[in-house]
Structure 1
Amino acid sequence: MDVAVAMAGFLVSGSWILNVAGAEVTYFLAAMGAGLAVLGNAAASVLSRKPLLTTAADRITLIRAVLVSCCAAIVIPALFGGTGPGVPVVVLGAAAFLLDAVDGAVARRFACESPAGGRLDVQTDAALVLVLSCAAVPIVGPWVLAVGLMWYAFVAAGWFRPELKRTLPVKRLRKVIGAYQPCALLLALTPGVPGGITTAAVVLALVALLASFGRDVVELEQGHRKWTGRHSGTELVN
């Protein structure tokens, strides 16, 4: 039910936004497809749960996913036109970013934290950063896509290196770096901000993200070697 409401919410709001913007038919279809791809990923995360349950925090995260989907729909015509997406993406993106603090607070308040909810939250965060990165291409340059694609590259690497799928301990610095990514991209997308400031902010975001993921990879690999060593030692003793 919650997924169906989210889908309906995007179809109505996304269509309205694109109609108001006067998007051509080709751009309209591509934009709605991009938005549905974003929301479809969130929907698949929820529908794959067993049992199929959603919490109050999940509903807030789904609202965030709808906002990110609307951002994606706005970005597509802007990319084809080679122009910046304008204020609407900044407003919707900022709302999706701010709600990230709300769903976590609700999960803690009502004791409904779960690994499934955490995955949905992380996937929505990653989708927001990717969409904002795409939106920033006409402003900053194609290299900004590295910011948005980094999480997906890390996940893809886990398909070939299962050690990278291991759970990492929660660290405040990782959260700070994660929160800085959409902040830097939203700054870059805000009209009137000098180009030097936007470029510096996004470069810092990319450097911090590279350092964070690099540290995580090293930590996961070291943890795997320690676990393998203990496991091998146990086998020898037995």
Structure 2
Amino acid sequence: MSRHLGPSTTPWLPNRLHSACELGIASLVLLMLGCLLPSLMAAGANWGVAYATYALISLCVLVFWSHGALGWANRVTLFRGVLIALVAGALANDTFTEAIWLWLIVATTALLLDGVDGWIARRTQSSTPFGARFDMELDALLILLLCIGLIQEKSLGPWVLLIGVMRYLFIAASWHFVWLAAPLFASFRRKLVCVWQVSALLLALTPLTHPLFASLLALSALISLAYSFGIDSWWLYKQSRR
């Protein structure tokens, strides 16, 4: 998802203050939802992790968004961030294992809203590179959290974390191999692999899924992701040699 807005005509500080107000309202939404879901936010540790996650998301918005009002597409994405913060919070003390179906519903809702913000951005012609990056980073964070949950719930090995950290390893590698930071071509394959990663992890996390089948689902997500990153890395390398 991406959003396009014209250049800002208002000063930098008022823009940031406007954004901060919207982020503050979203933090109240997080508080309200957390109170409505006491089985997920059962202890102070759950609230602490949830708000630490949300604070990180908010900081990124304040640093990289300079247009004041977020716009409806970005607001939907921010609401996804609130849901993802709840997903993160419930991981503390393995709280989510006692309310696994509810936790999966929250995570699935965050996944389904991934298509809504993009649709709004296209309908309102409000696309920006920030919107695309905001959406992408929340997807990556959700995948990482699901990997952590899978290790805790199904007792799978730490290899599952490779699914969640591969994007971050790719970014870290681009600091040394600068050709990895070059723009990539649009790819339906990339979107399909992302959707399958989240879907496979969600399926693996259900109480109905046997640990062996959960391992196979996670392995399929890892293989498809490694394949996708491999294609992109090879293409970027060939472009750098021209």
Shorter-chain TM range is 0.7 to 0.9
1:87 corresponds to 2:107: no
- The answer as to whether partners of 1:188 and 1:202 remain within 8 angstroms in 2 is yes
- Percent identity between matched residues is 32
Give me the TM-score of the superposition, normalised by structure 1: 0.84
Matched, 1:194 2:214: no
Which sections of structure 2, spanning at least 5 residues, go unmatched?
A: 1-20
Helix, strand or coil at the partner of 1:169: coil
Give the aligned residue type for 1:150: M
| Higher Cα radius of gyration | 1
Partner of 1:39: 54
Residue range with higher mean Cα deviation, 38-47 or 55-64: 38-47
Q: Which moved more, 1:139-148 or 1:166-175?
A: 139-148
How far the C-alpha of 1:216 sits from its partner, in A, is 1.4
What RMSD, in angstroms, separates the aligned Cα atoms of the two structures? 2.1
Q: Which position in structure 2 is the counterpart of 1:11?
A: 31
- Change beyond 3 A, Cα 1:153–1:36: farther
Contact residue 68 and residue 93 of structure 1 kept, 8 A: yes
Single out whichever of 1-10 and 128-137 deviates more from structure 2.
1-10
Alpha-carbon distance, 1:199 to partner: 1.6
Contact 2:39–2:98 at 8 Å: present in 1 too?
Answer: no
Return the structure number with greater relative CO, CA threshold 8 A, min gap 6: 2
1:73 aligned to 2:58?
no
State yes or no: 1:121 paired with 2:141.
Answer: no
**Separation in 2, partners of 1:43, 1:167:** 26
TM-score (norm 2): 0.82
1:232: which partner in 2? none
The 1-side partners of 2:51 and 2:232 are apart by 31
Task: Note if contact 1:78-1:85 (Cα within 8 Å) is conserved in structure 2.
Answer: no
What number of residue pairs does the alignment pair up? 219
- 1:156 and 1:37 mapped to 2: Cα distance? 23
1:183-234 superposed Cα distances (whole Å, 9 cap, x missing partner): 01100111112233222111000001111112211212222222xxxxxxxx
